[in-house]
Amino acid sequence: MKTQNKNNIKRINALLTSYPFCVKDQTPLQLAKKYKLEIIGPALKEKRKLTKAEIINYIQTADAVIAGTEQYDAEILDNAKNLKIISRLGIGLDNINFAETRKRNIAVAYTPDAPSNAVAELTIGLIINAARRILNVDNDLRNNKWNRFVGLDICEKKIGIIGLGRIGKILAKLLKPFNCKIFVNDIAPDEKFINENNLIFSAKNKIYKMCDIISLHIPLTNKTRNLITKKQLLQMKKNCILINTSRGGIINEKDLYDHLKATPDFFAAVDVFEQEPYYGELIKLNNIILTPHLGSCSEKSRYLMELGAVQNITDYFYDRQNANILK
């Protein structure tokens, strides 16, 4: 593919819709400047993600978008007359309507490897926190209650991982020192990885019924939306720990609220929500940990995501091969 000379490109307007961005390392912004990417929109200055109305306003002059988890539907894309590429900060692409981008010949790019370790590490943290109720007893102590809660051992427990992709595989390896029995499920199981790591492939219903801890690592699709509802929750152990660091919408939030309220020994940890920011009913409960989509928010992960998102755009406009750009 012929490479364009950067001197032939006057400026590329790149709308940044998400935050944080370049909080710890300015290299992605320096790369953007080198290749004439002008970051537009108030996200950087005001340190916040953009609303849908703001995206509709600013996308009208954008050649590219550095995107978060906000939706890219026909309404937004109808206003994107100059848009050539949407470059996602992260791995999930469920927020992009591919039928609409293809109709408009808009490329889509992502950074699939960048957040994987950070999400897996957060999952480990949530598992330990939930098992020992660290946040609960911390809150008790701050309120003058000396509550020596007797928690759950992780060692030798049965742990279910639903989704054995990049993150699921890292999580399985991180759990090895705990000497757990790890049961996994995936629509396209990597049998070699499963055998090499002594994992046990199981049906989802079996995982629901027998595992002490269940962690979700699957994309949001029509098939996985509301994968976990009242029916599946009732199959789980009364003291099961359910973790979701994948996508909001995979667990039905109303059913989860009802189940947690009715089953006080059941515990959940959720990092992702159907609508973000989240201020819903789950906030009222004590048997759940809620985090604001922190999975990718480590220094290394953010750096790799931000650098990759900018690189995807420069590669597109300067005609360089890049496997992370989807036509």
Which helix (H) or strand (E) element contains residue 52? Answer: helix 52-58
pLDDT of residue 272: 97
Instruction: Tell me, yes or no, if 299 is annotated catalytic.
Output: no
Catalytic residue among 88, 133, 217, 247: 247
pLDDT at 10: 86
Question: What's the pTM value of the predicted model, to 2 decimals?
Answer: 0.92
Q: Is 148 a catalytic residue?
A: no
Which of 259, 293, 302, 306 is an active site residue?
293
Q: 245 and 268 in contact (C-beta within 8 Å)?
A: no
Distance CA 128, CA 121 (A): 11
Q: Residue ranges of the chain with pLDDT lower than 50?
A: 1-2
Dihedral (C-alpha) 116, 127, 219, 294: value to the nearest 10 degrees? -60
Catalytic residue chosen out of the listed positions 54, 225, 276, 320: 276
Give the ranges where 78-153 is alpha helix by DSSP (H). Answer: 98-103, 116-132, 134-142
Residue found under tokens 């978060």: 68
Eight-state DSSP code of residue 283: G
DSSP 2: P
Domains of the chain, with CATH numbers?
A: 6-114+298-326 (3.40.50.720), 116-290 (3.40.50.720)
Cβ atoms < 10 Å from Cβ of 323:
7
Give the C-alpha separation, 107 to 327, whole Å: 5
Query: Would residue 293 show up in a list of annotated catalytic residues for this protein?
Result: yes
Name the DSSP letter for residue 49.
Answer: P
Residue-level pLDDT at 182: 98
